[in-house]
Amino acid sequence: MRKRIPTLSEHQVTPEGQYLSRRTLISGALATGVSLLSGTSDATSPTGTPLRATRNSTLSVSVPANSWDDITSYNNYYEFGTDKADPAANAGKLITHPWTVTIGGEADITGPIALEDLLKPHALEERIYRLRCVEAWSMVVPWVGIPLADVLKRFKPTSKAKFVRFTTLNDPAQMPGVRSRVLSWPYTEGLRMDEAMHPLSLLAVGLYGRTLPNQNGAPLRLVVPWKYGFKSIKAIVRIDFVERLPRSSWMNANPTEYGFYANVNPSVDHPRWSQASERHIGGGLFAARQPTLPFNGYAEQVADLYRGMDLKAQF
């Protein structure tokens, strides 16, 4: 007995030069609250409530993080618009407290749970992860969050739970982008159970030692650093344990371009651009492109999850 608990087209991708010419109009911030990597002196003061977190150095990269301004002003978040600057401009009025996440599907414990109760048993960690997006740009982001596995185990998924499906808030009154037909709403994503339980998978609630800005997925988002950024779903309101592979919003929109696994793979190009190299945001308009790393640099940790798979066919 279960117990209850209280299609993207090319013109929609913002050219980096156009973005850089207007980014000075958007404010950003300097890290406090947790220890941070050096190399972010161009950041301005962060907003949000300070968080207590301990750096997880074992799971963090040892390169400088991007500035707060980079991370909070160049975003993909179609619920607030398709332009990279739209989320920062349009997400400010999203109400993120109180927030409830509903647990459903193949688990012994299901039902709605307040975000603070979801987080309460867990200590926050700071993890500095690479972020790689399908448009061939990258950042390094100092997330604050809790291991996804620790949260999922709490609800005792059954043997039928082979995948985890995540769902984003769908509120046209607060999210002007969902009034468009660019995607089917609400936004959904999924992971295979072993991917969800991997130590690198993170439920993030903060950035640079502060609560997440709305444009970065407040108050709760997924971070799966070896996959393209569209897998890291934002503003999560529902988590379901399911038996069959869940189709995500991007798979429904264009399955030939956006697969379920979405592992960063330099040998599998997007149909309209190469994934073999990437431009690091913050390096300047004329910065040299750099080679894309398989699994975004996390191959040593995650390649065994896909042993025996054809990652060109199962992309």
314 in any annotated domain: no
Judge whether 313 lies within some domain.
no
Mean pLDDT, each 10-residue run in order, the chain (315 residues) = 41 40 32 32 71 97 96 97 97 97 98 97 96 96 98 98 98 96 96 98 97 98 98 98 97 94 95 94 85 98 97 92
In a domain, 123, yes or no: yes
pLDDT score, position 234: 98
Domain that holds residue 205: 9-306
The pLDDT score that the predictor gives to residue 138 is 97
The pLDDT value recorded for residue 287 is: 80
Question: Which residue reads 């969050």 in tokens?
Answer: 145
Say which residue the tokens 């048993």 belong to. Answer: 121
Tell whether 2 is covered by a domain.
Answer: no
The predicted pLDDT at position 95 comes to 98
- pLDDT (0 to 100) of residue 226: 98
The confidence score (pLDDT) of residue 284 equals: 76
pLDDT for residue 45: 74
Look up the CATH number of the domain holding residue 22: 3.90.420.10
1 within domain boundaries? no
Bridging pattern class, strands 3-4 and 109-114: parallel
pLDDT at residue number 19: 38
* Paired strand residues for 55: 126
3 in a structural domain: no
By the 8 A CB rule, do 91 and 159 touch? no
Looking at residue 20, what is its pLDDT? 39
pLDDT at 44: 64
Beta strands at 290-291 and 277-280: parallel, antiparallel or unpaired: antiparallel
- Confidence (pLDDT) at 22: 39
Q: Is residue 251 part of a domain?
A: yes
Query: Per the structure, how many domains does the chain have?
Result: 1
Contact 68, 40 (CB under 8 A): yes
Q: Give the Å distances, CA to CA, from 146 to 15, 71, 117, 155.
A: 34, 20, 13, 15
> Would 262 be classed as within a structural domain?
yes
